[in-house]
């Protein structure tokens, strides 16, 4: 049985899109980057910790496979997590304005016998944003709960001038890499 260690509606939607049968688990994993930890190591660790926490909740059931994922926006080695408030969201958007940033999305599958991961790195270039555009976007409420303070699948799409990589990876779960990982892991699918 496959379990998604996430309450993210986007991750659920993307798994459903590729016809995967799964149940969800709510896990609470600290998302704090360690001193000296690279952005990719950080994102990978958090995704793996989510999957492992899910497996622990299932008491290491022999038939359980748990999927954990994490996605973060990275600019100049700085990880842009979810904004704390409107001012934080606006500051993130100002930093991303007119620049190209990386979106790191890591998926881990964990079972009692095995662990395997897939990494997806996309490059996203934002258009130049003026203060009124930033304020209007923040006022929609969409930036909250989103890494980098934007949702490419929503109104945030209008901020993106160019995407090189995985659209679904920027959303929070790279579909191609996840499907390949599920096949490699012999995970059950519908």
**Catalytic positions:** 70
CB within 8 A of 189, min separation 6: which ones?
A: 2, 18, 19, 20, 21, 182
CB within 8 A of 35, min separation 6: which ones?
A: none
Q: What letters, b where the CB count within 10 A reaches 16 and e where it falls short, cover 81-109?
A: bbbeeeebbbbbbebbbeeebbbbbbbbb
Cα 125 from Cα 47, distance rounded (Å): 25
Phi, psi of 9 (to 5 degrees): -65, -30
Q: Report CA 43 to chain centroid distance, whole Å.
A: 9
């Amino acid at each position: 049985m496959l379990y998604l260690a996430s309450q993210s509606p986007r991750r659920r939607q993307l798994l459903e899109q590729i016809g995967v049968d799964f149940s969800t688990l709510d896990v609470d994993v600290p998302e704090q980057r360690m001193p000296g930890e690279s952005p990719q190591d950080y994102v990978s660790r958090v995704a793996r910790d989510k999957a492992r926490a899910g497996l622990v909740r299932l008491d290491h059931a022999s038939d359980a496979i748990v999927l954990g994922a994490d996605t973060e926006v990275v600019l100049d080695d700085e990880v842009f997590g979810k904004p704390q408030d409107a001012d934080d969201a606006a500051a993130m958007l100002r930093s991303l304005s007119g620049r190209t940033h990386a979106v790191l999305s890591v998926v881990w599958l964990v079972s009692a016998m095995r662990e395997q991961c897939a990494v997806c790195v996309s490059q996203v270039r934002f258009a130049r944003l003026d203060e009124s555009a930033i304020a209007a976007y923040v006022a929609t409420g969409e930036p909250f709960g989103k890494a980098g303070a934007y949702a490419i699948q929503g109104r945030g799409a209008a901020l993106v001038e160019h995407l090189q990589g995985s659209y679904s990876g920027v959303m929070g779960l790279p579909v191609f890499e996840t499907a390949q990982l599920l096949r490699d892991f012999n995970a059950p699918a519908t």
